[in-house]
Chain A
Amino acid sequence: MTAVAADPSLARPGRGWVLACLYPLVALLVALFVAYPLVDLLARAVFADGRLSLGTLLRLLSDPYTLQVVGNTLVLGLTVAIAGTILAALYAYAMTRVDMPWKPVWHFLALLPTISPPILMALSLILLYGRRGLITHELLGMQTTALYGYRGLVAAQILSYFPFAYLLLLNLFRNLDASLEEAAGTMGANPGKVLTTISLPLLTPGLGSAFVLLFGYSFADLGNPLLLGGDYPVLSSQIYLTIIGMYDIPKGAALAVILLVPAVLLFFVQKKLAERTAYASVGSRGSTQHPQVRDRAVRFAALIVCGLVSVLILMQYATVFAGATTKLFGIDNTFTLRHFVAALTTSRAALLDTIGLAVMACVASAVVGVLIAYFVARTPMPGRGALDFMANLPLAIPGTVIGLAFALAFNHRPLLLTGTALIIVVVFSVRSLPYATRSGVASLQQLHRSLDEASTTMGATSGQTLWRVLLPLVRPAVIAGMIFTFTRSVTTLSAVIFVVSPHWSLVTPAILSQMDRGDVGEAAALSVILVVLVLLVIHGAPRLLRRDWRDRS
């Protein structure tokens, strides 16, 4: 290879064999780690005693209890999706269109839940409103279990997941072409008419998208239903109890399939909606300079919404922090660091494993994601459409289902991965692959093909073009994707709960089991450590990396 490269006369343009060899490898990886576990899971649900039979599924679907669980899941999802979308829309509107002080603070606080494990919400809600909660028991003197069940789940899931909808709508509100609203104004429409005839119709697909997104998150959530569900079982917690508690794998698999079907349907709905939002955003020469509403009443209302939500979120984090630094929260409130010490000693392995495996997953999903993005956006490889579809599929699948599918599919030779570190890395990577691929495809599509052609005419192979020209240009997107993978990996519970093992423990399951044992202080301390770690990575990594680049140039 070096000999060839040393002789320029042998360097012919158009050699793409490096990438050509990588294509089947990447395709194989995706088939093995995305398609195979899902097919295997489906097979378990529809095969009984080696024969195709829908018996297990049908029996489950005629069982009143299962039907009630499915109904619960749907009702919870609908509530969270409706309330969360409204809240996110109000928040995004206030942030983009109302002249309001301290916007960076409201933004930061609203985004905090996107980077913390969802069980953190459950933990702090229990500390505040639980049987011995600070507010319900200590302040109000109540002895109540009202938190456990539907109400608590709605509160926890809205607080945990509305920020994702807020982010989606924030971009949409920002990118809505301002001149459309101005044009309507000059044609005689008052602000109310502008809202109903122009802004809302243009935002409808986006609002639908937020709704579907929240619905999906609610479906996939495992931590909150386990901790707060009480006598309100939903599908994800039911799968967990069926597998872990009853060890009924066919039934668990069938339940997972029941959860999978609506999740995949939602995925397609959201894809359609996302395509329709495209036309509302700014075209070639539109304007995103939206006038800010200065009306006193509106400003006041906006401040109330953002302030209240922010205070609620802040209260959750403050509570967890307090829980981590007091001997026994609500009972013995003396300051102590012993929970942190305990967390850093007894859970040290879990912390280190989590960080190490998440970093490996970052690299893996970035590499595979960029390669898939390149094949999809830049090459005429046969089957690249299917590859793209497969790489995006994990987006549609609830974490519980992925985790279960992996644990079952790789539980026997020759692919015995259960219990190893590799299965955790692969689960992390597969879950983040859609984001890595999509951001890669998006940023490659923004680069004109003439760049590739220029590179090729100057004698580069397609591999060299990717490495020397395209990769440096899409690097910001890749870095952002890696940070995202890291965040998602260290905070997920649902995806890893079936693949952790005594050898390889992770932080979120550790928090869950500490909560089960009643070790609230240590659970809180671990949660705080996790949030701080993620904040450090999110804010530190880009800065570090940027300095690195400057030094080299």
Chain B
Amino acid sequence: MDILPAKTLEIKGLNKAYAMRGGRSVPAVRDFTLRVEPGEFVTLLGPSGCGKTTILRTLAGLEEPDEGQILLDGRSITRLPPHQRRIGLVFQNYALFPHMTVFENVAYSLRIRKARDEKVRSEVRAALKAVDLDEMGSRLPGQLSGGQQQRVALARAMVMQPDLLLFDEPLSNLDAKLRVQVRGELRRLQKRFGTTAIYVTHDQDEAMSLSDRIAVMNAGQVEQIGTPEEVYARPATLFVANFVGQVNALPGRVLQRANGQVTIEMLEQRIVVPADRCAASEVLVLVRPEAVRLVEATPGRLAGIVEELEYRGDQIEYRVRVGAMLIVAVEPTLGRGGRVAVGDRVGLQLLEDALHVLPAQRPAPGTPLEGVIRDATLG
């Protein structure tokens, strides 16, 4: 297969609402703007109903936006019907045509475009080879396993050399082990062909391991766009922090700002962070469980009682009661499994590098702050 130069995707001010019964309309996507560089792999991550699938279907032309523009290399495709777009979509249920063989499924787009027979044969063979299914061409989709069907769907989308490759939760029907294996293959293929790709999922592991950048979405809006590291280590909102992993959110108060440093009082402790991480006076200090160390409970140190302990093989998760809060800590097992028991009093050391501070007055949209903090800390 020849490799065409990848395209830039721009989505500008996309709005889409669904009409409900009784004349009401429910916004599904609000003011969504995103620029995806050629060859980039961007994931839309969010809970179900956050609008991510609607965006994907709008890109494919299966839904029409109420407002906004979709540009490929600067050319608007907003009002084009799907069959004039050249956008490959891998469906959640694969949508393989049950009445056609694997070969004919993959050949479909070529046949529609009236490609010559030998071209069809060579390109389909190449596409099937790329997904390791070159022996399966004469089978019907119903005779393949879930993982194989998945790969046929991928080959079918790739063979049309799309300007843009879209994935709608393509791994959600696979079992856990296969999911990890297929996502690796998927990433390799996308890199190899260099196609610009948008991937939709609610699984943060998938988003982290696949993406160049992640757009975390909630209630039709983007909460944060950034690399996996940015989204995980420096979440823009408590919602993002919670959605991409477990987090302790500890309420604190700014005592003093001086020399580019901020001193924050939190759980009767004082911590110092660089000033650029914090502008407000009431704050939430976010710390991931793996950045909490169990240490000896010496006087003056943050300390608490171990209430629960969950053994996970490679890790142990501790829930430590400090006053009204439960702080979650995760430590690698490393042969020290039995060091701490439920009921023990332990000191807690928060790795200062890993602390992230958010202003406390901005709750996640639609969520009362109290509830979020409780949910965050109780895990």
- Please name the residue on chain A nearest to B98 by beta carbon: A279
Q: Is A2 at the interface (CB under 8 A from chain B)?
A: no
- Please name the residue on chain A nearest to B109 by beta carbon: A187
Q: Is B99 at the interface (CB under 8 A from chain A)?
A: yes
Residue pair A284, B173 in contact (C-beta under 8 Å): yes
Q: Is B227 at the interface (CB under 8 A from chain A)?
A: no
The 0/1 profile, CB within 8 Å of A marked 1, for residues 77-108 of chain B is 00001111111110111010111000000001
A201-B99, A283-B93, A284-B93 as given contacts; A182 in contact with B108, CB under 8 Å: no
Q: Which residues of B contact A287 (CB under 8 A)?
A: 93
Give A478 to B112 CA distance when docked, in angstroms: 48
A187 CB, min distance to chain B CBs, angstroms:
4
* A186 touches which of B89, B97, B172 (Cβ 8 Å): B89
Q: How large, as a class, is the contact surface on chain A? A: 20 to 34
Give A1 to B40 CA distance when docked, in angstroms: 75
Give A182 to B95 CA distance when docked, in angstroms: 9
Residue pair B95, A183 in contact (C-beta under 8 Å): yes
Q: Which residues of A contact B346 (CB under 8 A)?
A: none
Residue pair B81, A185 in contact (C-beta under 8 Å): yes
- Please name the residue on chain A nearest to B104 by beta carbon: A197
**Would you call the interface of chain A mostly helix, strand, loop, or mixed?**
helix
Residue pair A186, B98 in contact (C-beta under 8 Å): no
Q: Which of B6-43 contact A (CB under 8 A)?
A: none
A177-B93, A280-B98, A285-B92 as given contacts; A186 in contact with B60, CB under 8 Å: yes
**Would you call the interface of chain B mostly helix, strand, loop, or mixed?**
loop
Q: Is B365 at the interface (CB under 8 A from chain A)?
A: no
Q: Is A184 at the interface (CB under 8 A from chain B)?
A: yes
Q: Which residues of B contact A188 (CB under 8 A)?
A: 83-84, 86, 109, 112-113, 160
The 0/1 profile, CB within 8 Å of B marked 1, for residues 262-297 of chain A is 000000000000000001100111110001000000
State the interface size on chain B (CB cutoff 8 A): 28
The 0/1 profile, CB within 8 Å of B marked 1, for residues 188-232 of chain A is 111101000110011000000000000000000000000000000
Residue pair A180, B82 in contact (C-beta under 8 Å): no
Q: Which residues of A contact B49 (CB under 8 A)?
A: none
Residue pair B108, A187 in contact (C-beta under 8 Å): yes
A177-B93, A187-B109, A283-B93 as given contacts; A202 in contact with B83, CB under 8 Å: no
Q: Which residues of B contact A201 (CB under 8 A)?
A: 99
Q: Is A179 at the interface (CB under 8 A from chain B)?
A: yes
Give A285 to B142 CA distance when docked, in angstroms: 15
Q: Which residues of B contact A185 (CB under 8 A)?
A: 61-62, 81-83
A153 CB, min distance to chain B CBs, angstroms:
36
16 residue pairs A–B, Cβ–Cβ below 8 Å: A186-B60, A186-B62, A186-B83, A186-B88, A186-B89, A188-B84, A188-B86, A188-B160, A189-B108, A190-B83, A193-B112, A202-B98, A279-B98, A280-B98, A280-B99, A284-B93
Q: Which 8 A-B pairs have the closest CB atoms?
A: A187-B109, A185-B82, A179-B95, A183-B95, A285-B93, A279-B98, A188-B112, A186-B89
Known: A187-B83, A189-B112. 7 other contacts (CB 8 A): A182-B60, A183-B95, A185-B62, A185-B81, A185-B83, A189-B108, A197-B108
